[in-house]
Structure 1
Amino acid sequence: MFTIGPHLSINKGFENIGLEAISIDANTFQFFPRSPRGGKAKELDFDDIARFEDVRNNSDIDVILAHAPYVINLASKSEKTRQNAYELFEDDLRRLSHLPKNMYNFHPGSHVGQGVDKGIEFISDSLNKLITEELKTTILLETMAGKGTEIGRSFEELQSIIEAVEMDEKLCVCLDTCHVYDAGYDIVNDLDGVLDEFDSIIGLDRLKAIHLNDSMYGLSSHKDRHEKIGDGKIGLDAITSIINHEKLRKLPFFLETPNDIEGYKDEIKLLRELYED
């Protein structure tokens, strides 16, 4: 089954975004558990969650993906910033414990000048406290484009975080097509080579989701500007190869393209036509 969906607003409630996803032929979706700028999350509506589970049980929706706020920076040299990030992260995981079949994706963070190694140390220290035996949510490190002092611009940096986490079986990876291309991994001309490199450094068994985005600026630009499918530097031919690749095609794909709901509907229709059953 081709599993694909858009990014939708949780403000409408889980039942409504589940129905909205189904209405555009999506069978998964991504959402922010709170504002992407952080702040307090709305109180959980357990009746709404129960209604969503009914929707999910009567549809093809299976695993869904929560995205951490962009303000989370577990790698910051500021203790206050790290503590705020930790508290938001911990609260999101607590809330997600009430929602079955989910994953939680986050940007590893920026070291803000103190160096990659120190940033990775701070990230892994927090993850070692956040990841417990009781945790049911799979946490995903996102591949990054490498702008500024971002950590996660290379597979080696992500693997260094994973290696420093004790319960690493609950820590996996989400590959963003725009980000990896902007970071310098040529998924247009050497997709097999990139996947082989990922496998040798991290292991493809840790790859649990794909952010499917075209890139406005392209290879090694380190810009992180998403483009609509087929309108960017990656292009439709390469994206077709990505969704049909034997090592990727069974993963869930999440669109983060600059679209409204109708734009997502059109992209999903196009991608389903290009997917080889």
Structure 2
Amino acid sequence: MLRVGAHTSIAGGVHNAVDEQLEYDGNCGQIFSHSPQVWQDPDIDPDNAAQFRDNSADADVGPWVIHSSYLVNLCTPKDDLREKSIDSMQAELDAADRLGIEYVNVHLGAHTGAGVDQGLSNAASALDELDVPDGVTILIESDAGSGTKLGGQFDHLATVRERTEQEIEFCLDTAHAFAAGYDLSTPEGVDDTLAEFDDVVGLDDLACVHLNDSKHECGTNKDEHAHVGDGLIGEDGMDAFVNHEAIRDVPLVLETPTEDGRGFAWNVEKVKELRDGD
């Protein structure tokens, strides 16, 4: 069964995210537990949390993902930022536990001069500081790889998994992978990229896909999302990706823009049109 949905708001209470997802005709999704631009702990009302769990179960919407704050930097060599990042991640994990959410998604962050190897070790040791609740899994998201940001290369993801004691899994962002140099614009490119991911990381540990087209060329390291099929990955690439046997059972979460009179509902419908046999 195709699982596709969008990043949704928790305005007015986290339980409202389920109704919003259903408005998009989605059946899985992602939320921020608070504004991603500030250091802030989730403030989730217990009654709203119970309603979120019940509504998700009743409507068969899931899995859900919490996306961590944009300020989190697991790779940082700076002690104060490291501690804030660990504390923020712990709060997200605890919120996921209260909400019955399976995944907390995070970018590795930037090494800011410490070097790639040290940055990856910093991320692994930061993950080791976390107390991950039963039933919750940390997802490391692939990155576009600009500047000193890590996670743009698949071997970065594999290295962190090798160095951490946590049982982590992964989220592949199609726009990020494309920006990082993995060409998803053709069926052959999709085959090659997923084969490389399987060889380096392992498709068995791919728990989620952020399905986004790209406004910029492959390998530019520029992260700007486009409507599905309307960017430089294009319809041929997106068609090949959503129908690829390797990801047919992986939830697809949209982070596409709201512009040109189109939003998440349009993109969810587009994915369903592209998908064969669902």
Q: CA deviation at 1:262?
A: 5.7
Q: Which runs of 5+ in 1 are unaligned?
A: none
Looking at structure 2, the residues matched to 25 and 89 of structure 1 have their Cα atoms a distance apart, in angstroms, of: 30
Q: What is residue 183 of structure 1 aligned with on the other side?
A: 180
Instruction: Specify the alignment match of 1:220 in structure 2.
Output: 219
Mapped to 2, the partners of 1:207 and 1:150 lie a distance apart of 21
Per-residue Cα deviation, 1:16-49 (whole angstroms, up to 9, x for no partner): 1101111221101111112111322352211112
Counterparts of 2:42 and 2:238, CA distance in 1: 36
3-state SS of paired residue (1:106)? strand
TM-score (norm: length of structure 2): 0.94
Task: Specify the code of the residue in structure 1 equivalent to 2:214.
Answer: S
Which runs of structure 2 are paired with 1:1-277 in the superposition (5 Å)? 1-132=1-132, 134-168=133-167, 171-189=168-186, 190-259=189-258, 263-277=263-277
Which TM-score applies when normalising by structure 1? 0.94
Q: Secondary structure at the match of 1:247?
A: helix
| Consecutive aligned runs of 4 or more in structure 1 exceeding 6 Å deviation | none
Whole-angstrom CA distance in 1 between matches of 2:206 and 2:149 = 20
CA distance in 1, matches of 2:159, 2:131: 17
Inter-partner Cα distance in structure 2 for 1:107 and 1:101? 18
Structure 2 counterpart of 1:130, which letter? L
Is contact 1:131–1:167 with CA below 8 Å preserved after alignment? no
Consecutive unaligned residues in structure 2, runs of 5 or more:
none
Count the aligned residue pairs: 274
The whole-number CA distance in structure 1 between the counterparts of 2:131 and 2:53 is 25
Identical-residue share of aligned pairs (%): 35
Bigger mean CA offset, 33-42 vs 201-210: 33-42
The AA in structure 2 aligned to 1:250 is D
Instruction: State the AA in 1 paired with 2:83.
Output: Q
**RMSD of aligned Cα (Å):** 1.5
Report if the CA contact (8 A) 2:50-2:99 is conserved: no
**Structure 1 contact 37–70 (Cα < 8 Å) conserved:** yes
